[in-house]
Amino acid sequence: MAIDPYSHTPVYVQLADLIRARIESGELAPGASVGSEMALSQEHGIGRDAVRMAIALLRSEGLVTTSRPMGTRVRETPQRRRVEIPPGGSVIARMPSGRERRSLQLDEGVPVLEVHGPDGDVEVLAADEVELTRPA
Amino acid sequence: MAIDPYSHTPVYVQLADLIRARIESGELAPGASVGSEMALSQEHGIGRDAVRMAIALLRSEGLVTTSRPMGTRVRETPQRRRVEIPPGGSVIARMPSGRERRSLQLDEGVPVLEVHGPDGDVEVLAADEVELTRPA
DNA sequence: AACAATTTGTCCGTATGTATT
DNA sequence: CAATACATACGGACAAATTGT
């Protein structure tokens, strides 16, 4: 299970796949460190750039967060609370713009929900905190 | 309207903001090229790293896609079709895993919707193609 | 089919700043 | 205060992929 520099899939995608698998299997639990850039670079025999792009990719998927100087850790995802879609309303999911993300203080890789009420009112919610429901 | 290397906001964020504004204003229409890394680097007098980080950010927001050797272009977002949430069902929005993204042929920065029916059936949809609705 | 041009992917080196331990 | 590790930023260089000719 090593990284193949001759593969057609970019090295940074391979590394991201590798780490993602470790997270999804539970081998890397929430809060666990995925290792420093230097360590990952040396362990896998790849360059800094590739490591940074792999981590950026995982960040953009909301799987990890990185801080200084603790490095990159598996993100702890919040519990989802139930939100009922209003009758006659609609919802779209999308990525927040830069300004939105900063003003809502969202981690990278967290989509938002635009909840439209029947009267034209709009609410923007962090998508990873919400489970949309419709009663039977 | 130039990039200020002395600003507190990072150069790459400034460039991303700049390009994002051009996309949102329609100056850069879907399908249009945002320019090669080299070109952007020279035009704005910044390093290629900064350009790459800016573009990676926009990719993670689902605003652009990049390929070789065509460079980075404004993403064409599909029309949203209406999908009704089943009575007694629920929906969560999240980022797709790498495998999911590839199998669904999703661009970076596109969330998915997990639509759960009342009988435990699950459907995964590209979030940017869908508008969830609940009848009044 | 073969080739050239373009552009990103990836590597390396260096440097400074900043936040946390 | 020192050490650590990342964030940001610049530079150069070659490899690889895909387009178009």
For chain A, the domains span 11-74, 81-133
pLDDT tens figures, B28-59 = 999 999 999 999 999 999 999 999 999 999 99
Instruction: Go through chain A and tell me how many residues it has.
Output: 136
Q: Which nucleotide is nearest to A49 (CA to C1')?
A: C10
Looking at 3.30.70.2190, 3.30.70.3270, 1.10.10.10, 1.10.10.60, the CATH number of the domain B11-74 comes to 1.10.10.10
3-state helix, strand, coil in chain A (%, to 5): 35, 25, 45
pLDDT, position B43: 94
Residue A8 C-alpha, separation from nearest chain B C-alpha, in angstroms:
13
pLDDT, position A1: 65
Query: Beta B122-126 vs B112-116: how paired, if at all?
Result: antiparallel
Confidence of residue A7 (pLDDT cuts 50, 70, 90): confident
Q: How far apart are CA A9 and CA B9, in angstroms?
A: 33
* B90–chain A Cβ distance below 8 A for any pair: yes
pLDDT tens figures, B71-106 = 999 999 999 999 999 999 999 999 998 889 888 999
Distance, C-alpha A43 to centroid of its chain: 24
- pTM recorded for the entire structure: 0.93
pLDDT, position B14: 92
